[in-house]
Amino acid sequence: MKKPGTKPHRLYELNGDLVTMDQLVAISGIPRGTLYARIHRYNYPVERAISCKRHHLRTRGKLYAFAGQENTLVAWSGICGIQIETLAGRIKAGWSLEQVLTTPTPTQRSRGVVNNFASASGTGGGSVAQERAEIEFSANPEKTSP
């Protein structure tokens, strides 16, 4: 007997029988949220919703080398702070690995975050960098116009 005020379970037609979402989950082994999205968001027929296997990223376990490191997309996702789905979508779209890993997402751009890769070491001055500044200034600098 149902509690007062509770909604009845929505029923779905499957091979001529009426079944609940819980029964569809038990039959298919597919998570409730996935089935719900397939039926209600993507308008799959119930038979198709339970017969499609869950999609996994085809990049799982594959190693990608960049900046002297070799990692899976899951690891790169953690390093650069970009969701794995975004990384996989960029690869599928034909982006270079450098672009995939270093192009900030719109959210990262608004926060000012570019990536989490280690910054380059050194001063950028090459072999002529000095310990202390030895800069000379002329008393009468020549003015140049732009």
How is residue 85 written in tokens?
Answer: 């789905």
Tokens representing 43 are: 């308008």
Q: Does residue 134 lie in a domain region?
A: no
In a domain, 40, yes or no: yes
Q: Does some domain include residue 35? A: yes
Do 102 and 73 lie in one domain? The reply is yes
- On whether residue 138 sits in a domain, the answer given is no
Q: Which domain holds residue 81?
A: 64-111
The pLDDT score that the predictor gives to residue 57 is 46
Q: What are the pLDDT digits (tens) for 86-129?
A: 998 899 899 999 999 999 888 777 665 555 555 555 555 555 55
Burial of 43 from C-beta contacts in 10 A (0-12 / 13-18 / 19+): exposed
- Residue 44 counted as domain residue: yes
* Number of domains composing the chain: 2
d(CA 115, CA 104): 7
